[in-house]
Amino acid sequence: MTHADIHPQHQRLAARLKELRQAAGLSAAALGEQLGWSQSKTSKMENGHSALVLADIEQWLDTVHADEDVRAELRALAQEAGTRVRPWRNSNRPDGPSQQDARARRDATTSGIGVYQSEVVPGLLQTPDYARRLREIHSLLPAAEIPASVLSLMNRQTVLFDESKQFDLVMTETALRWRPGPASVMLAQLDRIAALASLPNVRIGVLSRETQERAEVRPLHSFVLLRYDDAPTTVEIETLTAEQEVTDPADVKLYEQFLAEQQRSAEHGPALLALLDRLRADLSLSTPG
């Protein structure tokens, strides 16, 4: 993450934490030692490269003996920074090659990733043809950038084979029934999902159409949960024009609970493979002989 990627409110809060540490005569290592944190966590917080949650900030303020005026100031900044919106620019689209490379670097720092996708196959599971056609249909990327974007996505998917990380992905049957191209593209995509579901650290669930129709299964927009060993979990939500990042622990907890609910309702293992077989059969019937 570059400095330009960090929301101004987050930058101000991180900078104030660093100022307070320095004013207290503490090194980053010394402050981390007093709090029982790794130096990496301390550095990420004051450089703006980690979510800044109120509980951690309060501990930081206790350690540097901040007065009530300073505490009120930083609490207000923390509330403002709890949900950040980063607008996309024409040169900085979420599915552009540079952004895919940035996400690959980000993914490598996580301990695991959770995904809920209600519209399309999650990017980490997409085949090259599916990813290319999705960008041709649904992306604002210039056509000349699409091949590089797809290649960057394929390189990013290698993180799935890092067994030190856990991946929890849920998608809807509706997402799997949407076809960005001929049936052959979707048949290959279904095979890809089945293959990746066999990885020991990848848990793929699909909400069947019948399950989706039950009243107790709540619909929601798609999102990504990024989990870290030495930093709080964050949630990312993409819109057409911006990326929203949620870091407030109470809000993040709601997304964690929602993903867990969907996993419990989704098809896994043999039931997942049977559902994928039904989708293949439907695609074959819809394809002219």
Distance (Å, rounded) from C-alpha 63 to C-alpha 46? Answer: 15
The answer on 209 and 91 residing in a single domain is: yes
pLDDT at 280 over 90: yes
Q: Hey, what are 125's tokens?
A: 């599971």
Among 15-29, 119-133, 209-223, which is the least confidently predicted range? 209-223
Among 140-144, 147-151, 237-241, which is the least confidently predicted range? 237-241
Which among 81, 109, 134 is the end of a domain?
A: 81
pLDDT at 204 over 90: yes
Say which CATH number the domain at 62 has: 1.10.260.40
Among 74-88, 177-191, 243-257, 275-289, which is the least confidently predicted range? 74-88
Residue 90, domain extent: 86-286
Among 33-37, 139-143, 222-226, 281-285, which is the least confidently predicted range? 139-143
The answer on 155 and 109 residing in a single domain is: yes
Q: What is the pLDDT of residues 55-86, one digit of tens each?
A: 788 889 999 999 988 888 887 777 666 656 66
Q: What is the pLDDT of residue 2?
A: 42
The answer on 56 and 155 residing in a single domain is: no
Say which CATH number the domain at 155 has: 3.30.870
Q: Whats the size of the chain, residue-wise?
A: 289
* Residue 85 or 134, more confident: 134
Which among 46, 61, 81 is the end of a domain?
A: 81
The answer on 44 and 116 residing in a single domain is: no
The answer on 103 and 237 residing in a single domain is: yes
The answer on 179 and 140 residing in a single domain is: yes
The answer on 31 and 68 residing in a single domain is: yes
For the chain, the domain total comes to 2
pLDDT at 3 over 50: no
Among 57-61, 266-270, 285-289, which is the least confidently predicted range? 285-289
The answer on 95 and 216 residing in a single domain is: yes
Tell me if 24 sits within 8 A of 61, measured CB to CB.
Answer: no
The answer on 16 and 135 residing in a single domain is: no
Tell me if 95 sits within 8 A of 145, measured CB to CB.
Answer: no
The answer on 213 and 236 residing in a single domain is: yes
Which among 37, 66, 81 is the end of a domain?
A: 81
pTM above 0.85, yes or no: no
Top-confidence range, 13-17, 43-47, 277-281: 277-281
pLDDT at 202 over 90: yes
* Residue 72 or 268, more confident: 268
User: Edge-to-edge strand order for the sheet containing 83-87?
Assistant: 83-87, 242-246, 234-238, 223-227, 112-117, 166-172, 202-207
Tell me if 107 sits within 8 A of 162, measured CB to CB.
Answer: no
The answer on 229 and 108 residing in a single domain is: yes
The answer on 125 and 47 residing in a single domain is: no
